[in-house]
């Protein structure tokens, strides 16, 4: 057909035959409408890939007639043809885009190949956040299509609870997902790690999480006063008279006395306790190996625990193969009985940190008590003299141990030792 300016009337007048009919636009070279034998009408843009007569002829489908107007199709075709004139290949780019990973596929690749450096517990939480908070809202998007605004909108949705769910997945199992500010803050850091992984694999050029406005990390400045520690100690004593598992009570008391993280005490092994130098030599923590000084109250409490000959753990499970993991239920009862709403086991770490600073301990000594470390400070712990740290632990933990109600146990044990 002779080229003519494509208009709605002209396109509507085109009639299908037993072969493709192409009507070229006289206003924009390379723009046309194609009529299939079945009657469908599609706008196309034809160009030579790479420019010049030697380039391969490509036809790019712009869109269907009626779904878009002639003017809309001409505008899109002009952009495509301009890109081709500059050496681009829009058709090849579209095919590559179709082969591109979605966010869901990238996450599964990251789970398979990018999480080997994580510890088992951390890996579990990372995968859970990605699959429960990211995939439902961003999973179908192509990874190069995710923009900064998309990340900010997604964080807003997670904060609003749009990913929250409570699903039964078996006779005695269910999945409970909670959104909120904390979930959004943690999830965006995790997703940023995924996009950084994609950049290292040269799958994308930019990490959209990097420039996104993220929620400020909430400052964890909650700590217990001596009176609150006393209330917690009383609550633990009451629970003990009610037949609560003594392992759970001992673990909670050691959380208070050592400022260790939850599983650093719950999963403590006998081989990690150095009674002679009054310290813990933890094989694996959030920051690697760590040495923690122990106050006399903590040492006495550990000595009072009867070892299970069939387990390496200080607080073993019933079969001895792993450690006791029923503390969560007891902790809920304890804080309720002590009227300490919102207090978590991690609050106890802040309690020791606050007590240390208030006692005039240096930041370095406070870091030693808490096990705050990086590659540089780990070597300091390895060569650190334990006597100063032990004295610091006694100064800091002494009042707390008294409030917790374990000081009397220490005195009884010391008296028995002298008598023996």
- Confidence class for position 52, pLDDT limits 50, 70, 90: low
Average pLDDT, the chain: 84
What's the half-sphere exposure (Cβ side, CA atoms, 13 Å) at 273?
22
* Other CB atoms within 10 A of residue 274 CB: 15
Q: Which residues contact 116 (CB under 8 A, 6 or more apart)?
A: none
pLDDT band for position 233 (cuts 50, 70, 90): very high
Using a pLDDT cut of 70, give the percent of the chain over it: 85
User: What is the tens place of the pLDDT at every residue in 365-374?
Assistant: 667 677 665 4
Residue 410: what pLDDT?
A: 56
98-126 tens-digit pLDDT: 778 999 999 999 999 899 888 777 888 89
At 406, the pLDDT band (50, 70, 90 cuts) reads low
Say if residue 289's pLDDT is above 70: yes
- CA neighbor of 193 nearest in space, from 117, 97, 137, 140: 117
User: Mean pLDDT over residues 265-270, rounded?
Assistant: 92
What is the rounded CA–CA span in Å between residue 131 and residue 109? 12
Beta pairing, strands 21-24 & 31-35: antiparallel
């Amino acid at each position: 057909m002779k080229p003519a300016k494509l208009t709605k009337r002209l396109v509507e007048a085109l009639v299908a035959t037993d072969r493709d009919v192409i009507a070229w636009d006289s206003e924009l070279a390379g723009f046309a409408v194609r009529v299939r034998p079945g009657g469908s009408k599609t706008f196309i843009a034809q160009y030579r890939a790479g420019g010049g007569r030697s380039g391969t002829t490509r036809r790019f489908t712009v869109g269907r007639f009626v779904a878009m107007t002639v003017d809309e199709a001409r505008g899109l075709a002009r952009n495509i043809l301009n890109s081709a004139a500059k050496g681009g290949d829009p058709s090849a780019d579209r095919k590559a885009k179709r082969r591109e990973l979605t966010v869901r596929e990238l996450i599964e690749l990251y789970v398979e190949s990018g999480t080997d450096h994580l510890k088992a517990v951390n890996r579990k939480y990372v995968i859970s956040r990605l699959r429960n908070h990211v995939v439902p809202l961003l999973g179908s998007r192509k990874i190069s299509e995710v923009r900064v605004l998309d990340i900010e909108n997604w964080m807003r949705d997670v904060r609003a609870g749009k990913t929250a769910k409570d699903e039964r997945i078996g006779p005695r199992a269910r999945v409970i997902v909670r959104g909120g500010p904390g979930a959004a803050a943690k999830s965006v850091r995790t997703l940023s790690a995924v996009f950084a992984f994609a950049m290292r694999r040269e799958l994308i050029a930019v990490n959209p999480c990097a420039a996104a406005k993220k929620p400020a990390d909430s400052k964890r400045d909650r700590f217990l006063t001596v009176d609150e520690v006393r209330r917690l100690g009383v609550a633990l004593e009451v629970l003990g008279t009610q037949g609560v598992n003594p392992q759970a009570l001992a673990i909670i008391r050691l959380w208070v006395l050592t400022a260790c993280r939850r599983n650093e005490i719950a999963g403590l092994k006998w081989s990690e306790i150095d009674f002679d130098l009054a310290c813990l030599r933890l094989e694996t923590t959030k920051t690697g190996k760590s040495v923690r000084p122990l106050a006399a109250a903590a040492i006495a409490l550990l000595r009072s625990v009867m070892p299970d000959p069939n387990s390496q753990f200080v607080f073993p499970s019933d079969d001895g193969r792993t450690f006791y993991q029923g503390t969560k239920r007891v902790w809920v009862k304890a804080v309720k009985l002590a009227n300490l709403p919102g207090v978590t086991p991690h609050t106890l770490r802040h309690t020791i940190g606050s007590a240390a600073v208030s006692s005039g301990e240096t930041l370095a000594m406070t870091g030693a008590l808490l096990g705050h470390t990086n590659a540089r400070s780990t070597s300091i712990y390895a060569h650190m003299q334990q006597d100063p740290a032990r004295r610091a632990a006694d100064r800091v933990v002494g009042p707390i141990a008294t409030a917790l109600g374990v000081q009397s146990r220490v005195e009884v044990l010391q008296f028995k030792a002298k008598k023996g």
